[in-house]
């Protein structure tokens, strides 16, 4: 996976963000054999590859202020 994003605060406690991710899902070779009723023995080999691109847009609101531990 590889990605990039940016977040921008546009008002007190509010921000908007955009993120892009590219997921590399890999590839696999598959063999397909026709059923005997359709002339059996027919062999077909195919390489199947899938990658996914994801774009996320979000609006964030922050509740309260910073948390300070007190002992």
The phi and psi torsions of 22 (rounded to 5 degrees) equal: -120, 120
pLDDT score for 71: 80
Please check whether residue 70 lies inside any domain of the structure: no
pLDDT score for 37: 66
| Rounded to 5°, angle at Cα 20 from 19 and 25 | 135
- Provide the domain limits for residue 43: 2-61
Please check whether residue 47 lies inside any domain of the structure: yes
Please check whether residue 68 lies inside any domain of the structure: no
Which DSSP letter does residue 64 get?
S
For 8-57, the DSSP string reads EEEETTEEEEEEEEEEEEEEEEEEEE--GGGTS--EEEEEEEEEEEEEEE
Q: What is the pLDDT of residues 8-66, one digit of tens each?
A: 999 988 999 999 999 999 999 988 877 766 666 667 888 999 999 999 999 999 888 67
Please check whether residue 30 lies inside any domain of the structure: yes
Quote the distance between the C-alpha of residue 36 and its chain's center: 40
* Number of structural domains in the chain: 1
Please check whether residue 28 lies inside any domain of the structure: yes
Please check whether residue 67 lies inside any domain of the structure: no
């Amino acid at each position: 996976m590889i990605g990039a994003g940016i977040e921008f605060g546009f008002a007190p406690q509010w921000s908007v963000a955009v993120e892009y991710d590219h997921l590399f899902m890999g590839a696999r070779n598959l063999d397909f054999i026709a059923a005997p009723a359709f002339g059996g023995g027919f062999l077909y080999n195919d390489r199947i590859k899938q990658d996914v691109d994801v774009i996320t847009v979000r609006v964030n609101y922050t509740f309260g202020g910073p948390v300070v531990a007190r002992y």
